[in-house]
Chain A
Amino acid sequence: EAGVVQSPRYKIIEKKQPVAFWCNPISGHNTLYWYLQNLGQGPELLIRYENEEAVDDSQLPKDRFSAERLKGVDSTLKIQPAELGDSAVYLCASSSPSQPGELFFGEGSRLTVL
């Protein structure tokens, strides 16, 4: 069974440029999460989807961040424009509603904003 796939693994951009991250969850997992992880810290939830509906986006900075999950499968997280403080690892995870709390993570997308 394929795991959670994220791309790109690494991205370096200049500040004020846009950037997008893509995630393909485990097949059959209805719940999809985007987390932000700064160096040496735990993950911070940005947004959680149940199928195609964003059920928790209270921590998403909506002035510059946006996300979508078309057809309830793949998801894209976008930042526009990026700021220096956005440099971090963006993690995608998915889970099955029958096993809440049991998240399967991708390898993450490391963003560096110069």
Chain B
Amino acid sequence: GNSVTQMEGPVTLSEEAFLTINCTYTATGYPSLFWYVQYPGEGLQLLLKATKADDKGSNKGFEATYRKETTSFHLEKGSVQVSDSAVYFCALNRGSNYQLIWGAGTKLIIKP
């Protein structure tokens, strides 16, 4: 079946550190891949997406590359800030007739 696996959190880093949050997926066909972010006390919001292999999504300094050969979509940022502290969810979608498949979420804590 279709599934998304994320690295367990919490991930705790110091400000300006390099961030990687791993995400791997299992899916039939050619899904689109997404990273959503949930800041404390707020609703979920789309951070970035990629719709086909080798696409790179980017937003707010975050990047993720759709790697079909490794079925991965790892989230990276070169220099994190305290304001990046949030829960990050990886997700996949196979098309408009299918629901979004969510990872369990990874809590990120950035210390000043």
Contact = CB atoms under 8 A, between A and B. Distances in A.
A42 B102 contact: yes
B43 A42 contact: no
Interface residues on B, range: 20 to 34
With most chain B CB atoms within 10 A of its CB, the pick from A43, A101, A108 is A101
Contact of A100 (B89, B93, B104, B107): B93
A40 B38 CA distance: 11
B82 interface: no
Interface string A63-104: 000000000000000000000000000010100010011111
Given A41-B104, A42-B105, A105 B89 contact: no
B95 interface: yes
A107 B105 CA distance: 18
Contacts of B105: 40-42
Given A41-B105, A42-B104, A43-B102, A100 B44 contact: no
B34 interface: yes
Given A91-B44, A108-B43, A100 B49 contact: no
A106 interface: yes
A101 B43 contact: no
B91 A101 contact: yes
B59 to A, nearest CB: 13
A105 B44 contact: yes
A53 interface: no
A56 B96 CA distance: 12
The residue among A31, A42, A91, A105 with the most chain B CB atoms within 10 A of its own CB is A42
Interface in B9-62: 32, 34, 36, 42-46, 49
B70 interface: no
Interface of A: 4, 31, 40-43, 45, 48, 56, 91, 93, 97, 100-108
16 contacts: A4-B43, A40-B105, A42-B104, A43-B89, A91-B43, A100-B93, A101-B32, A101-B91, A102-B49, A103-B36, A103-B44, A103-B100, A105-B43, A106-B43, A107-B42, A107-B43
